[in-house]
Amino acid sequence: MGRPFQDHPMLITGASSGIGRALALELARQGASLVLAGRDEPRLQEVERAAVAVGGFVRTLRCDLAVPGAAEAMVAAAVETFGGRLGALVNNAGFGVTAEFGVLPQPDLERLFAVNVLAVVAATRKALPALRAARGLVVNVGSVVGRRGLPTIGAYCMTKAAIGSFSEALRAEEARHGVHVLQVEPGLTATRFAENRVIHGDHPRHYPSAFTFTAEMAAARIVRAMARRRDRVVLGLPGRLMVLANGLAPWLVNRLLARR
Ligand SMILES: NC(=O)c1ccc[n+]([C@@H]2O[C@H](COP(=O)([O-])OP(=O)(O)OC[C@H]3O[C@@H](n4cnc5c(N)ncnc54)[C@H](OP(=O)(O)O)[C@@H]3O)[C@@H](O)[C@H]2O)c1
């Protein structure tokens, strides 16, 4: 593959860590111009230095997507940085909550939806005029668990299911404007996601280390899917198997999960 994103202006949310960080470095290698958003400034600056070392133009933007209006302000600042252009919006920022519904505090549920869903929709709405002008891309990072609700992370699954529906509807709406929507569905990936989770109840902080899909592997697959303007990419064998098993025998998956 050449450098399909040479000089393409892109905004990546959650670029300070994990999949967003790896994606920033991969797109920088492809020559993209990047605005990288997140809350953690030192981490963002580290990613900026690494991306500049392999690519070209990089700016960082401090932004807490849980704050109402922050997503729109982030997009406005990025579009201004690029002189009114935007080739891609990568809605990657997100976090998890582990808690059975019986003990899930309502404020945690609301914050989960604010960051994982409402900010994604708000950022995309604000970005659409610039994306239409560029016949650009929206990349929404959902999850394989958006296709199958799992115990103890049901609220997180709900947010990722919402992202899946958003991507499908938006893709159909925006096709006539030349904007394409890629839905990314990672399975377990080795990032800071597990340690950043909010946990209520007696649940392990870390995931089993047997799952070795890395953020770099995810980024390479996502960039290839972006270049090919694919509709959806599911990342990692365990996640793909879960989606397959649930499609073929949801009753069996229900039984197994109820017995855990
Ligand atoms: N890792 C997995 O197993 C996995 C599986 C399926 C889907 N995903 C999804 O992949 C995406 C990336 O996660 P990751 O695995 O790379 O986890 P990560 O290493 O924890 O990265 C999450 C990113 O989201 C940002 N973020 C979180 N809350 C934010 C807020 N309120 N405002 C702005 N930015 C915020 C963080 O930036 P700051 O801390 O700097 O704000 C960080 O850059 C998420 O949407 C996640 O749901 C992950």
Ligand 1: residue whose CA is nearest its atom 36: 14
Mean pLDDT of 213-232: 97
207 catalytic residue (yes or no): no
Query: Which residue's CA lies nearest to atom 16 of ligand 1?
Result: 18
Going along the chain from its start, the domains and CATH numbers come out as 9-258 (3.40.50.720)
Spatial distance between the Cα atoms of 255 and 170, rounded to a whole number of angstroms: 34
- Which protein residue has the closest C-alpha to ligand 1 atom 7? 143
- Residue 205 — very low, low, confident or very high, per pLDDT cuts 50/70/90? confident
pLDDT at 16: 98
* Ligand 1 midpoint to CA 246 (Å): 25
Kindly give the distance from the C-alpha atom of residue 14 to the centroid of ligand 1, in angstroms, as a whole number.
Answer: 6
Does residue 251 carry a pLDDT above 80?
Answer: yes
Q: How far apart are CA 148 and CA 137, in angstroms?
A: 26
Q: Which among 13, 17, 111 is the best mutation to test ligand 1's pocket, defined by most ligand atoms within 8 Å of the CB?
A: 17
* pLDDT tens track for 39-89: 999 999 999 999 999 987 999 999 999 999 999 999 999 999 999 999 999
What's the pLDDT score for residue 211?
Answer: 60
**Model-wide pTM > 0.85:** yes
Q: What is the pLDDT of residues 110-128, one digit of tens each?
A: 999 999 999 999 999 999 9
In this structure, what is the dihedral angle of CA atoms 97, 102, 103, 105, given to the nearest 10 degrees? 70
Residue 226 CA to ligand 1 center (angstroms) comes to 19
Q: Quick one: average pLDDT of 24-44?
A: 97
Res. 101: pLDDT tops 90? yes
Out of 156, 166, 193, 213, pick the active-site residue.
156
Pocket test for ligand 1, best of 92, 205, 240 (most atoms within 8 A of CB): 92
What is the rounded average pLDDT of the residues 145-153? 95
Hey, whose CA ends up nearest to atom 25 of ligand 1?
14
Q: Going by C-beta distance under 8 Å and a sequence separation of 6 or more, which residues neighbour residue 67?
A: none
* Token digits of residue 258: 């109820």
What pLDDT is stored for residue 112 in this prediction?
Answer: 98
Q: Which of 11, 19, 117 to mutate to test the pocket of ligand 1 (most atoms within 8 A of CB)?
A: 19
Grade residue 238 by pLDDT with cuts at 50, 70 and 90: confident
Helix ranges (H only) for 30-69 are 41-54
Computed from CA positions of residues 205, 67, 134, 183, in that sequence, does the dihedral angle turn out positive or negative? positive
pLDDT bin (cut points 50, 70, 90) of residue 209 is: low
